[in-house]
């Protein structure tokens, strides 16, 4: 996934979750949109070097969207509006062995009690429907070489894991994908110190048969692409 020409600047502060005051290299100070509901632990320090892109919406309230930050040993993509399409394109092009063999890859399909799957993979072998329901979670947090999720307590994330487990009773398949939006990590773990309930639910999901996959990305000011799978440590 290629980025348009990004605009460099410095983060002054992030607040109200969806807003950030920034100073562009031109000297102009303005408020940018933050498309990330997490705490952005380790990625939102005032003074951090950042890159922004122009909004494509007509007459947007905020003209710029915070896209990248320099953190750890490289760049981190903080925009969680990008991962779903990135993963869908990757899966459709055969990038994941866990989701190979399907013929249809559909986004935002209702399932469970009250959820919409980020991706539903389907095929009809011998007139029988085979389905795999997929949830995608973007993560930006790391400790050393370990990617972690979540960076804030997430009741929604736990509910999604429960929904994934529920489809197994119908003999469907389920997969939780963690898209790691940085390239300076070598493995993935649940952030038990932040949300132990999520970590416990993730282990229950794995024991029930939900596939867990962590995908590391390569991030630059030119774009973001999926690099490789990381070991998931529970």
Contact criterion met (CB below 8 Å) for 5 and 86 = no
The single residue listed with the structure tokens 């969806």 is 18
Looking at 77, 97, 118, the residue that finishes a domain is 77
Question: Minimal CA–CA distance to 187: which of 212, 210, 152, 221?
Answer: 212
User: Quick one: 58 and 171 in the same domain?
Assistant: no
Per-residue pLDDT of the chain (234 residues; tens, 9 = 90+): 999 999 999 999 999 999 999 999 999 999 999 999 999 999 999 999 999 999 988 889 999 999 999 998 899 999 998 999 999 999 989 899 889 888 889 999 988 777 889 999 998 866 678 899 999 999 999 999 999 999 999 999 999 999 999 999 888 999 999 999 999 999 999 999 999 999 999 999 999 999 999 999 999 999 999 999 999 999
CATH of the domain at 102: 3.40.1350.60
Is there a single domain that holds both residue 141 and residue 68? no
- Answer yes or no: is 26 within a domain: yes
| Domain boundary residue, one of 62, 77, 92 | 77
- The reply to whether 72 and 88 lie within a common domain is no
Where among 77, 111, 139 does a domain terminate? 77
Do 102 and 20 share a structural domain? no
Instruction: Give the C-alpha distances (Å, rounded to integers) separating 142 from 21, 42, 159.
Output: 24, 8, 24
pLDDT at 115: 82
- Same-domain check for residues 115 and 154: yes
Residue 1 within a domain: no
CA-based nearest residue to 102, from 175, 163, 162, 169: 175
Residues 130 and 38 in one domain: no
Predicted local distance difference test score (pLDDT) of residue 171: 87
Residue 191 lies in domain: 83-230
pLDDT at 130: 87
Does 97 lie in the same domain as 60?
A: no
Instruction: Identify whether 176 is part of a domain.
Output: yes
Residue 172: predicted pLDDT: 93
Judge if 63 and 29 occupy the same domain. yes
The domain that holds 12 is classified in CATH as 2.40.50.580
Residue 223 within a domain: yes
Q: Would you state the pLDDT for residue 125? A: 66
Tokens 């399909």 identify what position?
109
Count of domains observed in the chain = 2
Is 189 domain-assigned?
A: yes
Q: Are 118 and 37 within one domain?
A: no
64 and 90 within one domain: no
Residues 91 and 178 reside in one and the same domain = yes
Residue 42 maps to a domain: yes
DSSP SS3 for 159: helix
Convert 60-89 to b/e letters by CB count within 10 Å (16 or more is b).
Answer: eebbbbbbbbebbeebbbbbbebbbebbbe
> Considering the domain boundaries, does residue 2 fall inside one?
no
Same domain, 70 and 101: no
């Amino acid at each position: 996934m290629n980025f348009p020409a990004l605009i460099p600047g410095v983060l002054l502060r992030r607040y109200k979750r969806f807003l950030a005051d920034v100073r562009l290299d031109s000297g102009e100070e303005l408020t940018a949109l933050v498309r990330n509901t997490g705490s952005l632990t380790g990625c939102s320090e005032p003074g951090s070097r950042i890159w922004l892109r122009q909004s494509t919406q007509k007459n947007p309230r905020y003209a710029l969207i915070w896209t990248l930050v320099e953190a750890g040993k490289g760049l981190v993509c903080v925009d969680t509006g990008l991962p779903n399409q990135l993963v869908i394109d990757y899966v459709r092009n055969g990038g994941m062995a866990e989701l190979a063999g399907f013929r249809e890859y559909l986004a935002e399909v209702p399932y469970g009690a009250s959820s919409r799957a980020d991706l539903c993979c389907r095929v009809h072998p011998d007139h029988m429907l085979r389905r795999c329901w997929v949830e995608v979670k973007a993560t930006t947090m790391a400790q050393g070489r370990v990617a972690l999720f979540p960076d804030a307590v997430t009741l929604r994330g736990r509910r999604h894991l429960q929904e994934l487990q529920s489809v197994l009773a119908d003999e469907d398949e389920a997969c939780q994908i963690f898209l790691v939006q940085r390239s300076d990590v070598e493995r993935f773990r649940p952030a038990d110190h932040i949300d132990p309930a999520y970590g416990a639910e993730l282990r229950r999901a794995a024991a029930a048969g939900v596939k867990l996959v962590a995908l590391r990305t390569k991030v630059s000011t030119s774009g973001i692409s999926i690099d490789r799978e990381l070991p998931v440590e529970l």
